[in-house]
Amino acid sequence: MLRVVDAHADLADDPGAVRLAAWYHDAVYDPRGADNEGASAQLAAATLASLGADNVDEVVRLVRLTAGHAPTAEDRNGRLLCDADLAVLAGTPQEYDAYAAAVRREYAHVPDELFRAGRSAVLRQLRDLPTLYRAVPDRAAWDSRARANLDRELTSLMEPAP
């Protein structure tokens, strides 16, 4: 994620805030949790304020934005952060498969049938977005690769469990 932010820092109005938001966006992560982004934003606010950072509000806003990945067209910081957060979807099939396997391990406590249903819903929601990427110059290619990966995983989730 940080690699994407750094490679495209010129697309942001405040690259430092985007980098910090990338660091903090999953600082609190519990697969059973309902508001990881909110908890991560609170941690960012407390930590950065104690350090005297001057962009705390922007970092907090950006961390919260990753919950829905819906930045406005004018939100250059948000667009870059959301693209970076979803960059894993546009990886090679091997990279994506490793990511998908890691997601399954994170949710090992969820029975297969429930995982398949829940994961399929998340993937469909992503796939049905009009666009996945809004900032990176090669967004059409990223979008194409991501949708192919999402479709491939959806197909695998519909296959009978081994």
Tell which residue, 47, 61, 55, 65, has the closest CA to residue 14.
55
Q: What are phi and psi of 39, to 5 degrees?
A: -65, -40
Tell which residue, 69, 84, 67, 60, has the closest CA to residue 4.
84
Contact (CB, 8 A) for 81 and 5: yes
pLDDT in single tens digits along all 162 residues of the chain:
999 999 999 999 999 999 999 999 988 988 887 788 888 899 999 999 999 999 999 999 999 999 888 899 999 999 999 999 999 999 999 999 999 999 999 999 999 999 999 999 999 999 998 899 999 999 999 999 999 999 999 999 998 766
